[in-house]
Amino acid sequence: MSSFLELLSIYKWSLPASVFAAGVLSLIGAQWTARGQSAQIFVLSQGSSLGVVLGLALNIIFGTDLHALNLVLGFSLGWLTLLFSHRLTQGRSDRNHIYLTLFVLFLALTYMLTSMTPALESHMAAAYFGDLAVMSDLAGQIVGVIALLALAFILKNWKILSLSSFQLSNSSLIHRQPKNTAFEMLTLLVTAAAVQNMGYLFTIGSLFIGTSFAAHSSRDLKSYTQRMLFISVSGSLLGFVISLLSTNLPTVPCVILGQVVMGLMTYVKK
């Protein structure tokens, strides 16, 4: 038991940061899903991932170690993706094929960039699948602060955001609201930070797993929000603990499976 507690002390920042991030990502995913824009947030995450990989490539080429560059480029590419996707899908009823086209394009650009920078190949597994066990204390602190700020804003404005998402059908009207603009910027910031430090798999899983299960087992908005947060937070804790107990298992896949397990439990008990 003492050895396990000592092991936990090593992850004193990465563990709470990943748990907070999972909860915030689930809240973000719920709003985008309610607006019928799940595919768009999927593309935004890939755009942020491309920016993070570009930052890694520039650091390797110039021999620098500027982690802030990865976050800035991840945010910037995500923002450009948001603007570009809004422009392409404006006035269209069927948008998913456009989002999928953009996703494939960004994925191809990411692979091309990796091929042009051979030293980057060793970083790609971490960029996509992530490894919470190797997150530095500084990265955990940065992600934790970003997640807490985003959580405070989202919870404070949850009813307003939910009203826009669930009751308004005019997406252009939603987009023009100041609160929604701030929410979109927070989405980009949290997504970029999560992709950079915890990987694409963790980010996408946390965005949608809790939402998917809670939507089928909740009677109202309050229970939906509570179940969603329970699935994402407890699932992340469960997965992290399982990974620590079995050193052969990677952290992020365990977290994803943990969220699915907790989701199934809430679904059965509905």
Q: Which CATH superfamily is domain 2-268 in?
A: ABC transporter involved in vitamin B12 uptake, BtuC (1.10.3470.10)
**pLDDT value, residue 270:** 61
pLDDT by residue for the chain (270 residues), tens only, comes to: 566 666 677 788 889 999 999 999 999 999 998 888 888 898 999 999 999 989 988 988 888 888 899 999 999 999 999 998 888 887 776 788 889 899 999 999 988 888 877 777 766 666 677 778 778 889 999 999 999 999 999 999 998 888 877 655 455 555 557 788 899 999 999 999 999 899 889 999 999 999 999 987 777 888 888 999 999 999 999 999 898 888 788 889 999 999 999 999 987 766
Domain boundaries, the chain: 2-268
Name residues whose C-beta falls within 8 Å of residue 161's C-beta, 6 or more positions apart in sequence: 31, 154, 179, 180, 183
**pLDDT value, residue 37:** 83
**Residue 231 contacts residue 263 (beta carbons within 8 Å):** yes
Angle at which helices 251-268 and 14-34 cross, to 10°: 50
Cβ-count burial 209-225 (b if 16+ within 10 Å, e if not): bbbbbbeebbeeeeebb
**pLDDT value, residue 171:** 52
Dihedral of the alpha carbons of 139, 146, 45, 264, in degrees to the nearest 10 = 90
Residue 105 burial (CB < 10 Å; 0-12/13-18/19+)?
middle
Q: How many CB atoms lie within 10 A of CB 257?
A: 18
Distance set, CA 91 to CA 38, 85, 95, 172, 174 (Å): 18, 12, 9, 9, 14
**DSSP tag of 68:** H
**pLDDT value, residue 122:** 64
Name residues whose C-beta falls within 8 Å of residue 125's C-beta, 6 or more positions apart in sequence: none
3-state secondary structure (DSSP) of residue 133? helix
Angle at which helices 14-34 and 38-62 cross, to 10°: 140
Instruction: Count the helix, strand and coil residues of the chain and give each as a percent rounded to the nearest 5.
Output: 85, 0, 15
